[in-house]
Structure 1
Amino acid sequence: MSEFKFNPRTAILLLIIVAISLIRVAAPLSDNFKEIANFSAVGAIALFGGAYFNNNYKAFGFPLVLLLLSDIFIAKTSGYGFFYAGWYWTYIAFVLMVLVAKLIIKKVTVLSFLGAAVLAVLVHWIVADIGVMYFPGLYEPTFAGYIKCLGAAIPYERLFLYGTLAYGAIMFGAFEVLRAKYPSLSLSANTAV
């Protein structure tokens, strides 16, 4: 029988992810939700999980579960349906964004974060917009229709990039400050994270 051992690093990482997720959940309650919807924290959450969780179940699982729960809450409170046409492409994009962080952010630096953020948003733009092709009547289901969809998505992806950078700076910055102050939060002290 294995004994449960409290891991402060995992608790702090999860607390930061949950705190930022709460901002995402509160966003639909805003009067200008449609204007700020793509200024979202989900890209930053994917990067944060991929960068800081060594364990793949936690790296992919925690961010995906929080995305799912916040999507369900947003669907219930805003009246938007959750299982919209092509919804799974968004989740595939999210998994790939976590993978981008795992591959690029071997050591957390401003440069590795910026590179991963830009690449993750690019992945989101290319993959998640495949799902938009499934909305009836928006775009013709051809390569030309997909290119037109990508072009129309540029303003939304720009906001998504800004959100990823802003929330990412808060998340990564907060954890790095805590890690500097409390060395027990370093990975070497908690290798199972």
Structure 2
Amino acid sequence: MSLQKINIRNSVLILMIVLATATRVFSLGTIVSWANFTPVGAVALFGGAYFSDKWKAYLVPLTVLLMSDLLINYFKYQHTGLYANSVVVYISFAAMVFIGTLIKKVNITNILLASVGVVVLHWLITDTTFNSTLYSPGLTGYAQSLRAALPFELKMIAGNVVFCAVLFGGFELAKRKYTVLQTQRELAV
């Protein structure tokens, strides 16, 4: 595969990730009831599925998500830096990218299953530390935290489905029209 072809494909992937993630920043003034309707899971899955270099699969989505978090924290909360427990959240984002790397065939079923799966993973990982002072310690408190987070996670599923449809569907359509976006393996078929 030529260097130019790789650069065009990677540039398109990066641009799509940046544009999708920008919706987080530009929706700062949105209604709280839409909290968690974001492209986070879709961006992580998309990067994991399409970057042929796995280091790029992790680096690009996680960097773009980090930059959007910093912008959101600064403009919405007048706070520089990250929030408490951000390490746990970024571990869940990295796990989402990993699940994206497991997608070998892009189709509606696989993307839908991955979209829901990464939200369940996010839910289970992030609620181990969040709200630890709001709920009783131990498994009872963890169950209370999971129950309280359910409405937010359902919105995250909706966000994943919508943004995955746009990202995966858009890139698959673009690959059909512009062969420069296809990998060597795809061209050989």
Q: Return the TM-score normalized by structure 2.
A: 0.90
Matched, 1:149 2:141: no
- Identity between Structure 1 and Structure 2 (%): 38
- The code of the aligned residue for 2:125 comes to V
Q: Aligned partners of 1:80 and 1:123: how far apart in 2?
A: 30
CA deviation after TM superposition for structure 1 residue 133, in Å: 3.8
Between the aligned partners of 1:52 and 1:61, the Cα distance in structure 2 is: 13
Match of 1:54 in 2: 52
Q: 1:116 to 1:80 in 2, by over 3 A?
A: farther
1:85 is aligned to 84
Per-residue deviation, 1:77: 0.6
Q: Which residue of 2 aligns with 1:120?
A: 118
Gaps of 5+ in 1: none
Q: Structure 1: which 4+ aligned runs deviate by more than 6 Å?
A: none
Match of 2:184 in 1: 188
The answer as to 2:164 corresponding to 1:168 is yes
Partner of 1:140: 136
Is 1:177 the counterpart of 2:173? The answer is: yes
Distance 1:80 1:100, change over 3 A: farther
Q: How does 1:22-101 map to 2 (within 5 A)?
A: 22-30=22-30, 32=31, 34-79=32-77, 81=79, 82-101=81-100
Q: Distance in 1 between matches of 2:78 and 2:135?
A: 20
**How much does 1:62 deviate?**
0.3
RMSD of the alignment, in Å?
1.9
The letter for the 2-side match of 1:129 is D
Amino acid at match of 2:113: G
Partner SS state of residue 37, structure 2: coil
Contact 1:27 1:37 in 2 (8 A): no
Provide the C-alpha distance between the structure 2 equivalents of 1:18 and 1:86, rounded to a whole number of angstroms. Answer: 24
Aligned to 1:11: 11
Matches of 2:7 and 2:171, distance apart in 1: 15
Q: Is the 8 A contact 2:73 2:82 kept in 1?
A: no
**Cα shift at 1:37:** 2.0
- The separation in 2 between residues aligned to 1:133 and 1:26, in whole angstroms, is 27
Q: Partner of 2:82: helix, strand, or coil?
A: coil
Q: How many residues align?
A: 183
Q: What is residue 130 of structure 1 aligned with on the other side?
A: 128
Determine the C-alpha separation between the residues in 1 that align with 2:116 and 2:24.
Answer: 20
Partner Cα separation in structure 2 for residue 95 and residue 181 of structure 1? 31
Residue deviations 1:71-90, cap 9 Å, x none?
A: 00000011165533322111
